[in-house]
Amino acid sequence: MEKLPKITDSNLLVGLETGDDAAVYKLGQDQALIFTLDFFPPVVDDPFSFGAVAAANSFSDVYAMGGKPLLALNIVGFPVDLPKDILTEILRGGYTKAQEAGCLIAGGHTVDDKEPKYGLAVVGLVTPGKQVTNAGARAGDSLILTKPLGTGIITTAGKQGVAEPQILDEAVRIMSILNADASSAMVKVGVNAATDVTGFGLIGHLRGMMVGSHTQARINLSRVPVIPGVWPLIEQGVVPGGTHRNLSGEGQEVQWHVDITLQQKLLLCDAQTSGGLLISVPETKADALLRELEANGVEGSVVIGEVVGAGTQPIEVLP
Ligand code: CO
Ligand code: CO
């Protein structure tokens, strides 16, 4: 996109420049569209679960901006020689999540593909000016994460056949959770910035937010929530390629405390699917947000660190 002409339009409230995953377009005084799409190959074997996770992930960019999904279209790649009931199950998983989100799936498009792929293009609504972006974090904010890390490592273990079934089930359960309740909590309390944690891992998405906001973050590894069972897998060397790429990319721009091990760095860089919201909230409102998240049933949200003024490196990680 960098090589293409830059698009500017007074109604385009959020475009490419803040590094956000969704575009926001103002329709009128009261309404703006949020528009986003996401699709990927199966992260788990079960087609229904894959569909549900992919849909939850696609809605996530709307929720991260404080909006509500309204309408979606299926994006499907599917091999001609695979049984069609597998595709039906993928779509059923997606429809189930869409129903939960109160979003209509109104059609879509399928192409022949060597490997299945599924996701949604989603249109959501937000009040113009109320959209939450990557770019509003301020020094002194608390950083809150609403889902534990480790889904990349666990799904890789699943593909390699080395994941305990209950660990895999827990990862699927966590990936399937809509970020709807986390989003409504943050909208109610009022926050400075938010993003969802997906393929670039916690470090990559936090870095995007800090660069977009011209701030720096200091996080504590010990505070970061992790899905139980992840550490032994990392120690066995079960780490997805995307996670290694994240560490050798964005991970190089992090000021790592000397006590942080390679395994710990990999966890913080783990490529997530349908991860939680990473929210930058004024410190004075952090407790209120945690209470609201809990009241909304968002389990295990925690403060993982804080935003400090602009420094030499966008992120510092302490033990
Ligand atoms: Co996305
Ligand atoms: Co996103």
- Mean residue pLDDT of the chain comes to 96
**Ligand closest to CA 58:** 1
Q: Which sequence spans correspond to the domains of the chain?
A: 12-126, 141-318
pLDDT given for residue 203 in this prediction? 98
Q: Is this structure's pTM higher than 0.85?
A: yes
Whole-number Å distance, alpha carbon 197 to ligand 1 midpoint, is 9
Tell me how far apart the alpha carbons of residues 306 and 287 are, in angstroms, rounded to a whole number.
14
Q: Give, for all 319 residues of the chain, the pLDDT tens digit.
A: 778 888 889 999 998 777 778 999 999 999 999 999 999 999 999 999 999 999 999 999 999 999 999 999 999 999 999 999 999 999 999 999 999 999 999 999 999 999 999 999 999 999 999 999 999 999 999 999 999 999 999 999 999 999 999 999 999 999 999 999 999 999 999 999 999 999 999 999 999 999 999 999 999 999 999 999 999 999 999 999 999 999 999 999 999 999 999 999 999 999 999 999 999 999 999 999 999 999 999 988 999 999 998 777 899 999 9
- Which amino acid does the sequence have at 266? L
- Written as six digits, the tokens of 127 are 């009040």
Whole-number pLDDT of residue 232: 97
The DSSP secondary structure of 175-196, one letter per residue, reads HHS-SHHHHHHHHHH--SEEEE
- Ligand 1 centroid to 11 CA: how many Å? 22
| DSSP assignment of the chain | -TTSPPP--TTEEE-STT--SSEEEE-SSS-EEEEEEEEES-SSS-HHHHHHHHHHHHHHHHHHTT-EEEEEEEEEEE-TTS-HHHHHHHHHHHHHHHHHHT-EEEEEEEEE-SS-EEEEEEEEEE-TT----TT---TTEEEEE-S-B-HHHHHHHHHHT-S-HHHHHHHHHHHHS-SHHHHHHHHHH--SEEEE--TTHHHHHHHHHHHHHT-EEEEEGGGS-B-TTHHHHHHTT---HHHHHHHHTGGGGEEE-TT--HHHHHHHT---SS--EEEEEEHHHHHHHHHHHHHTT-TT-EEEEEEES--SSSEEEE-
CATH superfamily, domain at 12-126: PurM-like, N-terminal domain (3.30.1330.10)
Ligand nearest to the backbone CA of 194: 2
The pair phi, psi for residue 302, each rounded to 5°, is -140, 155
Residue-level pLDDT at 295: 97
Q: What pLDDT score was predicted for residue 313?
A: 87
Rounded distance from Cα 61 to ligand 1 centre (Å): 6
* Domain boundaries 141-318, CATH class: alpha beta
CA of residue 5 to ligand 1 center, whole Å = 22
Cα of 259 vs centre of ligand 1, distance in Å, is 32
pLDDT of residue 214: 94
pLDDT at 39: 96
